[in-house]
Chains A and B, each alone.
Chain A
Amino acid sequence: MGKKLKPTQNFAEIVFNDPVLGILLVLPLLFWVLATIIYPLFNTIYFSFFNIRYIGVPFQPVGLTNYKYVLQDPSFLLACGRSALWTLINVTLQIVGSLVVALILNQNFRGRDFIRNWVILPWVLPTVVVAIMWKWILDPTHGVVNYLLINLGLLAEPIQFLASPQWVMPTTIFINTWRWTPYFSIILLAALQTIQRELYEAAAIDGASTWNQFRYITLPVIAPVLSVVALNSFLWSVNIFDTIWLLTRGGPIDYTTTLPIYIYKKAFQEFRFGEASAASIVMFLGLLLIVVVYLRRLFRESEEEGL
C-alpha cells in the first residue's frame, strides 16, 4: 500500500510482494465459491442426516439411516452401474472422437476453415433443442432415420431408439458424444497448433512413420491438454442430467436412470430430500476420490518429466 512501484515490476510481482492485495483480489471469487459451492455442499451434508420429506417442514434427525438406506437400495446400486457405463463409454468416445476430429482439422484441405467454424454447432445448441431434435429424428414412426433405413431395405421394422432397453443407452450416449466431441476437438486443435512443423519435418527426414510421428511427437506434446480434456469429459459426463432427462426421463423403465437422475427422482418425485442428499454425498465422495487420485498421478508425472 502506498509503495512506489519500480518501473520494471509486473502485475504478478506486485501481487506477490503484497499479500493483502492478493487476498483482496481473490476475495470476490472466494466469496462466490463459498456461496455457490461450499455452503450448498455443507447444507447437503447436513440434510443427509435428517428425514426430510418436504422442504420447509420440520424434520427429524435419523443419523446414518439415509446412507444405510441408499447404499442398500438396489435402484441406487443399479444407477451407480449405469453411471459408470455411461461415463466410461462417453469419455472414451469423446476423447478418441475429438482427437480424430482435431487431427483432421489440423490438416490442410479445402473447406477447412468453414468446417472449423461450424463444427462447434452441436455444442452451441441448447440442450432442449438437441433433445427435441433427436427425439423427432429417431422417432420410429415419424423420424427420418428409420424412414431412410427402411426405405433403403436395411430394416424391416423400425428401431425404437429411445423406447427399447437394448437401444436406449447406446442412443443417449451417441447423442451426448455428438454434442460434446466438437467442443473438446477445438481445445485439442488449439494444442495441436502449438506443435512446431520443424519437429515433423525432422522426424520425416529421419524416416519416422506417420504413426511414430503421432506417438512420439504429437501425443507427448498434447498429453497435458489431453489429460485436462479427459478430466473435464469425465466430470461433465458423470454429472449429465439435462440431456438424459429431456430424452428419456430415465426410462424406459429405469434403463437410463443414472446417478443424477436417481437423485433428482428421489428429491423431486418421491420428495425424499434426506435420501437424495445422502446419495449426492456418496456420489460426491466417489468423484472426489477419483479426481484426487487422477490429479495426484498427473502431477507426479509432470514432476517426473520436470514440467
Chain B
Amino acid sequence: MKIKAFVLGVVLVLLGLTAWAADPVELVFWHMEARPNRVERIQEVCERFNAEHPDIEVVPYVQSWGEIYQLAPAAIQAGRGPDFMLTTPDFLTYVKALGAVQPVDKLIESLQQEYSFIQSALTPYYFDDHYWAVPIYGMDFVFWYRKDIFEQAGLDPNRPPKTWIELLEICEKLKASGVVEYPIAVPGAIHMATDQLIYTLMTVNKAEHIFGEDPNEVIFDNPHTVEAYSFYKQLFDYSPPGSAAWAWDEPRTALFTGQVAIVMEKGHYLKGWIDSTDLPLAYLGCAPIPVPEGGQPGTIYYSNGLMLLTEDLEKQAAFNEFLAWLFQPEIMSWLIHMDPGFFLPVTKEVLYSDAFWDEPTIKEKVAAVVIQIDYSEYGKLFGFTRETVNPNAGAIAASNILAWVAQQITVGGLPPEEAVKLGAQRIEEVIRE
C-alpha cells in the first residue's frame, strides 16, 4: 500500500512538473493592422512562430488606430495591457509618457549586427538616449500617375515631372487637353492624409524641421514652409471641388476611376489597383516626389515598430526570441507581403533577399517598389528629425495641425504666410507644459 502511494505520488509530481514545464510563456500582442488580409497574415505569422517555439505563445489581438489612444492607457493602467504592441513614432511618445515602455537597445544592437537596419527606419525611435521600439516595416509617399491618361493627353508617359515647375506645367497641359477635368487630387481634410502630403512637400523644400535643436523651439514659421504651403495651394486649385473634405479614399478613387491623372500617396496603391480595377497594372506609373529648385530629394517616411511593455524578464526574453525569429529575411518578407508594395523592408538583409522580391505584384512593379525603397533613405517624419524629441510631438500629429494650416489657406482664404504663422502658434499651444 505504501509503495502504491509512493508511486502515485511520484507520478503526480512528475505530471505536475511536466504540466509546469509545458506551460508556454504567453506574449499578448496588440496590433492595429485591421484590414482583413493583414489580420490574417499576422495571425499566420504568430501561429507559425508558436508551432516552431512550443515554449512561447504569441497571442495577437487586433485593435483599431481610431481607439488605441484611449484604449491603451486605460488597459495599461488597469494592468491588462499587452506585453508588446505595434506602434508609430507618434504613438510611442504617447505611451512612453505613461512610463510603460521598455528600452530595447540591446535587441536593436543584436539585430543591427545581424541584419543591418536602414537608418531612417531607426531614427524616429531613438531619443532620450535609448531605442524605444524595433521598426519592422516602413512606408513613404511617392508620385502616382496614370500613364494611359498622360498618353491620351499627348504627354510622354515615361517622363513624369521631376520638379515643381514641371508638375504645374503638366497639370496645366492635362487640364487643357480635356482628357481630365482635374489633373491631380490632393487631400484637404483635417486629417492625417493631408498632414502627410504637406509634410512631404515640406521635406523636399528643406522645411523638414518643425523644432530647432532645442525641442521646445518651434521653427515651423519659415520661408521654406511657406513655399511648401503655397505650392500645395497651387496643386489644390487643380484638384476636384470638395477636396477640402478629402482624406485617403477619395483621391485614390479619383485616380483609379480616371477622374484625375496624379496623386501623391503611399505604396498601397499597387494592391489597391489590383483589387479594385480591371485595368492593367502597367497603366499605373510611379515616380519620386517632384522637387523645387534648390530643394532636396525627400518624402515623409516612417516605420511601424514593436514596442515592449512588459517588465517581466521571462517575457522580455521571449519577445527577443520572437523578434530574432521574425527578422529572418524569409519570415519578414512573408509578413510584409501582407500588403505587397506598401510595406517596405527596414533591414538590408530583407532588402537584398530573394524572398522579398519574389512576390508577383512586386515583381510586376519592381520600379515602383525600388523608388519607394530608394526614397525611404531621404525620408523624414515631422517632430522626429532631431536627436532630442519634444515629449509632446505626438500631439502635433494627433491634432492634425499641418492639415489645419492647409485649410486656413484653402478654405479660409488666408495667405500662406499668415496661415503658417497661425500654425506655429498652434504648435506652441499644443506643446506648452
List residues of A whose CB falls within 8 A of some B CB.
53-57, 135, 139-142, 157-158, 160, 162-165, 248-253, 265, 268-271
Q: Which of B17-25, B27-35, B153-161, B235-243 contacts A (4 or more CB under 8 A)?
A: B235-243
Chain B residues closer than 8 Å to A140, beta-carbon distance? 240-242
CB distance from A266 to the nearest CB of B (A): 10
Interface centre among A157, A164, A250, A253 (most CB of B within 10 A): A253
With A54-B94, A141-B241, A249-B191 given, is the CB distance from A164 to B398 under 8 Å?
Answer: no
CB distance from A72 to the nearest CB of B (A): 13
Chain A residues closer than 8 Å to B189, beta-carbon distance? 249, 251-252
**Cα distance A158–B244 when bound, in Å?**
13
**Top 9 A-B pairs ranked by shortest CB distance?**
A140-B242, A163-B244, A140-B241, A163-B245, A252-B411, A141-B240, A54-B97, A269-B399, A251-B190
- Interface contact A57-B407, CB-CB below 8 Å: no
Flag whether B323 is at the interface (Cβ < 8 A).
no
Interface string of B240-268 (1 = CB under 8 A from A): 11111100001001100001000000000
Chain B residues closer than 8 Å to A53, beta-carbon distance? 97, 392
Chain A residues closer than 8 Å to B259, beta-carbon distance? 141
Flag whether B412 is at the interface (Cβ < 8 A).
yes
Closest to B96 in A: A54
Closest to A248 in B: B245
CB distance from B218 to the nearest CB of A (A): 15
Chain B residues closer than 8 Å to A54, beta-carbon distance? 73, 94, 97-98
Flag whether B69 is at the interface (Cβ < 8 A).
yes
Partner among A141, A253, A271 whose Cβ is within 8 Å of the Cβ of B411: A253
6 A–B contacts, CB within 8 A, in A order: A141-B250, A163-B243, A251-B244, A252-B190, A253-B407, A269-B400
Partner among B100, B182, B241, B430 whose Cβ is within 8 Å of the Cβ of A270: B430
CB distance from B55 to the nearest CB of A (A): 32
CB distance from B214 to the nearest CB of A (A): 20
Partner among B74, B241, B395, B412 whose Cβ is within 8 Å of the Cβ of A269: B395
- Interface contact A253-B412, CB-CB below 8 Å: yes
**Cα distance A160–B250 when bound, in Å?**
14
- Interface contact B411-A165, CB-CB below 8 Å: yes
**Cα distance A41–B76 when bound, in Å?**
23
**Cα distance A55–B191 when bound, in Å?**
24
Interface centre among A53, A141, A164, A251 (most CB of B within 10 A): A141
Chain A residues closer than 8 Å to B241, beta-carbon distance? 140-141, 157-158, 160, 163
**Cα distance A264–B398 when bound, in Å?**
12
Chain A residues closer than 8 Å to B50, beta-carbon distance? none
- Interface contact B73-A163, CB-CB below 8 Å: no
Closest to A250 in B: B190
CB distance from A263 to the nearest CB of B (A): 13
Which chain B residues numbered 369 to 417 have a C-beta less than 8 Å away from chain A? 392, 394-395, 398-400, 404, 407-408, 411-412
Chain B residues closer than 8 Å to A57, beta-carbon distance? 97-99
- Interface contact B404-A253, CB-CB below 8 Å: yes
Chain A residues closer than 8 Å to B407, beta-carbon distance? 251-253
**Cα distance A269–B99 when bound, in Å?**
19
Which chain B residues numbered 93 to 138 have a C-beta less than 8 Å away from chain A? 94, 97-100
Which chain B residues numbered 52 to 72 have a C-beta less than 8 Å away from chain A? 69-70
Interface string of B73-100 (1 = CB under 8 A from A): 1101100000000000000001001111
Closest to A54 in B: B97
Chain B residues closer than 8 Å to A165, beta-carbon distance? 411-412
Flag whether B298 is at the interface (Cβ < 8 A).
no
CB distance from A275 to the nearest CB of B (A): 11
Chain A residues closer than 8 Å to B430, beta-carbon distance? 270
With A54-B94, A55-B77, A270-B430 given, is the CB distance from A160 to B244 under 8 Å?
Answer: yes
Chain A residues closer than 8 Å to B305, beta-carbon distance? none
Closest to B400 in A: A269
Chain B residues closer than 8 Å to A252, beta-carbon distance? 189-190, 244-245, 407, 411
Chain B residues closer than 8 Å to A135, beta-carbon distance? 245
Flag whether B215 is at the interface (Cβ < 8 A).
no
**Cα distance A54–B395 when bound, in Å?**
11
- Interface contact A163-B400, CB-CB below 8 Å: no
Closest to B414 in A: A253
Flag whether B188 is at the interface (Cβ < 8 A).
yes
- Interface contact A268-B398, CB-CB below 8 Å: yes
CB distance from A216 to the nearest CB of B (A): 48
Chain A residues closer than 8 Å to B76, beta-carbon distance? 56
Chain A residues closer than 8 Å to B94, beta-carbon distance? 54, 271
With A53-B97, A163-B411 given, is the CB distance from A271 to B395 under 8 Å?
Answer: yes
- Interface contact B245-A162, CB-CB below 8 Å: yes
CB distance from A200 to the nearest CB of B (A): 49
With A141-B241, A253-B407 given, is the CB distance from A56 to B77 under 8 Å?
Answer: yes
- Interface contact A163-B98, CB-CB below 8 Å: no
CB distance from B408 to the nearest CB of A (A): 6
CB distance from A267 to the nearest CB of B (A): 9
Chain B residues closer than 8 Å to A162, beta-carbon distance? 242, 245
Partner among B182, B191, B242, B408 whose Cβ is within 8 Å of the Cβ of A163: B242
**Cα distance A211–B399 when bound, in Å?**
53
**Cα distance A57–B411 when bound, in Å?**
38
With A140-B242, A158-B241 given, is the CB distance from A163 to B399 under 8 Å?
Answer: no
Chain B residues closer than 8 Å to A139, beta-carbon distance? 242, 245, 250
- Interface contact B398-A271, CB-CB below 8 Å: yes
Sample of 4 further A-B pairs with CB below 8 A, known A56-B76, A157-B241, A253-B407: A53-B392, A54-B94, A141-B250, A163-B243
